[in-house]
Amino acid sequence: MRESESGLPVEPVYGPEALAGWDPAVKLGEPGAYPFTRGVYPTMYTGRPWTMRQYAGFGTAVESNARYKQLIANGTTGLSVAFDLPTQMGHDSDAPIAHGEVGKVGVAVDSIEDMRVLFDGIPLDQVSTSMTINAPAALLLLLYQLVAEEQGVPAHMLTGTIQNDVLKEYIARGTYIFPPKPSLRLVADIFRYCRAEIPRWNTISISGYHMAEAGASPAQEIAFTLADGIEYVRTAVAAGMDVDDFAPRLSFFFVARTTILEEVAKFRAARRIWARVMREEFGARNPKSLMLRFHTQTAGVQLTAQQPEVNLVRVAVQGLAAVLGGTQSLHTNSFDEAIALPTDKSARLALRTQQVLAHETDVTATVDPFAGSYVVERMTDEVEAAALELMGKVEDLGGAVGAIERGFQKTEIERNAYRIAQETDSGERVVVGVNRFQLAEEEPYEPLRVDPAIEARQAERLAVLRAERDRRAVDAALAGVREAARGDGNLLYPLKDALQARATIGEVCDALREVWGTYSPGETW
């Protein structure tokens, strides 16, 4: 008997007995209705397909802007911005710690000048933009708002998402800056600010994707992600917010693996758990507060550098799993991402994969194609039970923060990653082109390379910025940031003032570091 990715048994045959005692009214409901097992909208893709995003960003703002325009011309319906590591960590491109990393895994954004270039010629009232940024999420959101206002686009018309999920950084990804307590304060401040200023913006994308990339199973992925979501809701409620004032703008971010059946079951289970938690624990009354809306990215960790063209097949299968699972938006990885940044051609092929799924298959013709499937409904129940068991253990440790303090999630994920590695090494888990069906000699491939001179050019831009701006205005604005950080008012207003005065990302983050300090692994929370 085979096991699923979560270690659950997969039977060779499923029949009616698999759903003995199973109540469709309780387990399924109708599409677009509680418990949202069948999807968050009544019509799903029969009305229109999911938002097609392509995660992109590299080098300078000029280069990334050109890629975005190309993607839009090719049919992308939403942008997704990748930032380089210095930006993610709140450092300017000319900081010594940034050396060698500028523009490598995303675009370098140091100030409002870069943000202007990044979205030059892109109508921000017509495009939805997702930004994968966490610790300094408030700053990139505010820069986006400022640039939109310069374009004449009022903030209330802006649509998009900031990831803003710092808890998973402590668990799996590591791009944290500040200690958890002030980081959670920033999250709550963003919730309040967006309700007042940018009401159509998704204020957080609570991410299981990065946990999955670190080795989490499907059950672990949704359990630890939903536990983080509960922590954010508790934080906002404790700060005095009504749950229905912010919960409709919460969103999630999951992976899609090649194991189609379990991935579909995972998405269905996650929706059902979240709806129940929001209604029963938090007393949410607005149906939109109960909806688990999510973005999906195909599994980068399953891409291989060996025979990279085979990744086209993997990505198509993974994208199909996401669509059958009812995702609201999707990024399909490029086949060459295990080697380097995607080329123009590979990025276009990744987008074309989504377009084939949307327009050449029949999976968009009906809502929830797998409803009532013996195997999928049974697997949904089993993944749900496994996730709830893990969530119960997190609660026993004091919730997501208490469990993170004790290293629970990290240890569980690492244990599963080790199991996967052992199975791959032994050949029990087949990876085409890696441990079976190898080539004697790999075909040559010319990857996209980032020009190392980018770092020097960014430093020159920063020198010009600092020479031209009003230094007194910058100093006064940064003093306002420090004062606000010591108080309890909403930080986003003084942060916006500082960025508008042309303070850099690094300078603003340094002002916050002076007050809050930085977090190091192993510190007491």
Give the Cα separation of 507 and 188 in Å (integer). 22
Residue ranges per structural domain of the chain: 48-426
Would you place residue 520 in the very low, low, confident or very high pLDDT band (cuts 50, 70, 90)? confident
For 287, the token pair is 């149906």
In this predicted structure, the answer to whether residue 82 has a pLDDT above a threshold of 80 is: yes
Radius of gyration of the chain, Cα coordinates, nearest whole angstrom = 23
Give CA 17 to chain center in angstroms: 38
Residues paired with residue 250 on neighbouring β-strands, in sequence order: 204
Q: Mean of the pLDDT values across residues 388-415?
A: 96
Per the model's pLDDT, the better-predicted residue between 522 and 412 turns out to be: 412
230-284, pLDDT tens digit by residue?
999 999 999 999 999 999 999 999 999 999 999 999 999 999 999 999 999 999 9
pLDDT at 450: 84
Strands annotated E in 287-406: 294-298, 329-331
In this predicted structure, the answer to whether residue 524 has a pLDDT above a threshold of 60 is: no
In this predicted structure, the answer to whether residue 344 has a pLDDT above a threshold of 60 is: yes
37-56, pLDDT tens digit by residue?
999 999 999 999 999 998 89
Q: Mean of the pLDDT values across residues 273-302?
A: 98
Would you place residue 62 in the very low, low, confident or very high pLDDT band (cuts 50, 70, 90)? very high
Give the Cα separation of 236 and 11 in Å (integer). 43
Instruction: Look at residues 88, 71, 87 and name the one whose alpha carbon lies nearest to residue 79.
Output: 71
* Ramachandran assignment for 29, one of left (phi > 0), alpha (psi -120 to 50 degrees), beta (any other): left
337: burial class by Cβ within 10 Å (0-12, 13-18, 19+)? Answer: buried
Are β-strands 250-256 and 294-298 bridged in parallel, bridged antiparallel, or unpaired?
parallel
Does domain 48-426 match CATH 3.30.2270.10?
no
Give the Cα separation of 102 and 98 in Å (integer). 6
In this predicted structure, the answer to whether residue 498 has a pLDDT above a threshold of 90 is: yes
Residues contacting residue 292 through CB under 8 Å, at least 6 positions apart = 36, 40, 252, 270, 271, 274, 275
pLDDT at 210: 97
Instruction: Look at residues 215, 220, 168, 217 and name the one whose alpha carbon lies nearest to residue 387.
Output: 220
Would you place residue 525 in the very low, low, confident or very high pLDDT band (cuts 50, 70, 90)? low
Other C-beta atoms within 10 Å of 341: how many?
A: 23
Give the Cα separation of 90 and 507 in Å (integer). 8
Instruction: Look at residues 53, 58, 59, 50 and name the one whose alpha carbon lies nearest to residue 71.
Output: 53
SS3 for 181-227 is HHHHHHHHHHHHHHHHHCCCEECEEEECHHHHHHCCCHHHHHHHHHH
In this predicted structure, the answer to whether residue 513 has a pLDDT above a threshold of 80 is: yes
| Greatest Cα-to-Cα distance within the chain, rounded to the nearest angstrom | 74
pLDDT at 451: 87
For the chain, the 3-state helix, strand and coil shares in percent, each to the nearest 5, are 55, 10, 40
- Look at 299-303, 442-446, 468-472 and tell me which has the smallest mean pLDDT: 442-446
Instruction: Look at residues 8, 10, 28 and name the one whose alpha carbon lies nearest to residue 272.
Output: 28
pLDDT at 228: 98
Q: What is the dihedral of CA 122, 123, 129, 131, to 10 degrees?
A: 50
Collapse the DSSP code of 315 into the 3-class scheme (helix H, G, I; strand E, B; otherwise coil) and give the result. helix
In this predicted structure, the answer to whether residue 18 has a pLDDT above a threshold of 90 is: yes
Report the mean per-residue pLDDT for the chain.
Answer: 96
pLDDT at 446: 84
Residues contacting residue 273 through CB under 8 Å, at least 6 positions apart = 222, 226, 384, 387, 388, 391
126-148, pLDDT tens digit by residue?
999 999 999 999 999 999 999 99
Cis-peptide into 35, omega within 30 deg: yes
Residues contacting residue 205 through CB under 8 Å, at least 6 positions apart = 130, 161, 162, 163, 164, 165, 251, 252, 253, 295
Q: Mean of the pLDDT values across residues 52-71?
A: 94
**Cβ contact 217:416 at 8 Å:** yes
Q: Mean of the pLDDT values across residues 204-227?
A: 98
Query: Could you tell me the CA-to-CA distances from 159 to 156, 209, 249 in Å, in that order?
Result: 8, 22, 11
pLDDT at 141: 98
Would you place residue 448 in the very low, low, confident or very high pLDDT band (cuts 50, 70, 90)? confident
Q: Mean of the pLDDT values across residues 497-509?
A: 98
pLDDT at 358: 98
pLDDT at 138: 98
Q: Is the dihedral of CA 337, 342, 348, 349 positive or negative?
A: negative
Q: Mean of the pLDDT values across residues 185-202?
A: 97
Give the Cα separation of 391 and 352 in Å (integer). 38
Other C-beta atoms within 10 Å of 327: how many?
A: 24
Q: Mean of the pLDDT values across residues 194-202?
A: 97
DSSP letter at 105? Answer: S
Residues paired with residue 253 on neighbouring β-strands, in sequence order: 207, 295
pLDDT at 523: 62
DSSP letter at 45? Answer: G
In this predicted structure, the answer to whether residue 497 has a pLDDT above a threshold of 90 is: yes
Q: Mean of the pLDDT values across residues 218-231?
A: 98
